[in-house]
Amino acid sequence: MLYEVTPVTRPPPRVVPLPIMVDPMEGEALISWCHRLAARLGLRLHQTARMLGVDTSDPAWWHRPGPEVLLAISRRTGVGMKRLRAMTFLDWKGLSSQRNPGHIVGRWSRDLVRPRADCSPHCVACPQCLVDDREPWVRLDWLTGWASLCPVHGTVLIERCRKCHAPLRMPTLEVNYTPTLGTCHKCGARHCDAPLTIAHPPVLELQEKMLRAMREGKARFPGLRTCAWSTMVALVAQISWTLWQSRDGRRRLVLFVRIAQELGLPPTQSGSGSRAYELMLILVWMLRKPSERWSVILGVKPDTEQASEVVMRLPMRQRTRLLNILSVDATVRRQAYMRTLSDPLCQTDCYPDSDTLQRHGAVATSEPIYRKLLAIARCREGASVEAIVDESNHRRHRVDRWWHKYRPETEHKAIAESASPSRNPLAKV
């Protein structure tokens, strides 16, 4: 005998709401909100991830999560899906096809357009914003990898801890502790105590356009045609690779001094120490006259055959568009290189004084060649070895060698010996 059977659907598991509600801040990143939620509940980060149903093995869970992840978090916390989606990069069209977009924060120039293997994202922070917050939280813009200054306070964002100089990172939900936002993950120093550096206003305008281009997927900048955001990433990568892959740091310093003078940067005793901000300054300067100033940048790197290595790795369409932007005649490129080579700072026996370096070296203060030239300038001015070691952070044996070579008495003696007939084979007897 057959009986009619009605299938019984099992009800979904009952989701117990959290005892504490933490409202996301406007513009906050999802990973920052999870950190604050863990601290409010008194849980460790890996316990919070398990409670929210987050798969921490996927490095894209916080900036490009799947719909099932957002649904699980929404059911557990009561925060709407639309609000959670706004805390990620899902609606940023420029990043829609890139799981690991290009970054200028915490990256070497050769790795600018390569995928990131690490799961702990690089971060920047505004010390004044952390002071103003009742509870420190991380803005989503700070995790884009392209933010270099704060639009609210007009200051340069810090990339490293002021105490241990470790790069700022957001700990993932895999760690077995509850970190405090706004502090160094290594030494625990507070980022709100870091000194402030006033940013150049044109950089703020450029950063707003770049963040808008990341959201819209198209870059519109003066001096360039409308192009995809990925093409803009390749342009910045090409500039960075050309500048910092050159071993001749003195020729690069010549370019930085010229950029500081043409942008009208104020005199400074110490720079921002931010590679991202330095690169944005160079980009502001170049976008005013792209083709002409690209030839000047190529003057830093004499082997022009390898200067387009980043461009050659691009797809055909992006490569063609970028080569049109950077189209420079070979004669113009050679003239730019010769002009850079003939600059007094590039001569072997000519070094700038400390006043010139401190006045125009705002773009190059994080460069080792800048610190070396500043130490040599202090040696030539007769400063003591102890004072130079304290100012330049160089090792004492290196400063001793420079001091014996470049101090005034040594230079005068070398000039006198070179002028004597016995030492100068070109002198007439």
- Predicted confidence (pLDDT) per residue in 156-197, tens digit: 999 888 888 888 888 888 888 878 888 888 888 888 888 888
What 3-state DSSP class applies to 376? helix
Q: What is the pLDDT of residue 113?
A: 46
Q: What is the pLDDT of residue 115?
A: 44
What 3-state DSSP class applies to 125? strand
Tokens of 33: 């909100």
Alpha helices in 249-307 (DSSP H): 249-263, 275-287, 290-298
Q: Where are the chain's structural domains?
A: 201-346, 367-418
Host H or E run for residue 228: strand 227-228
Q: What is the pLDDT of residue 126?
A: 93
Distance CA 169, CA 111 (A): 18
Count CB neighbours of 184 within 10 A. Answer: 21
Distance CA 372, CA 129 (A): 34
Which residues of the chain are under the pLDDT cut of 50? 99-101, 106-111, 113-118, 268-271, 330, 333, 336-337, 340-341, 343-350, 362-366, 411-429
Distance CA 279, CA 275 (A): 6
Count CB neighbours of 107 within 10 A. Answer: 19
CB-neighbour burial class of residue 226 (10 A; exposed 0-12, middle 13-18, buried 19+)? exposed
Q: What is the pLDDT of residue 370?
A: 67
Q: What is the pLDDT of residue 84?
A: 94
Distance CA 258, CA 238 (A): 20
The dihedral of CA 396, 257, 240, 129: what is its sign?
positive
Q: What is the pLDDT of residue 175?
A: 81
Distance CA 234, CA 112 (A): 9
Q: What is the pLDDT of residue 103?
A: 59
Residues in the chain: 429
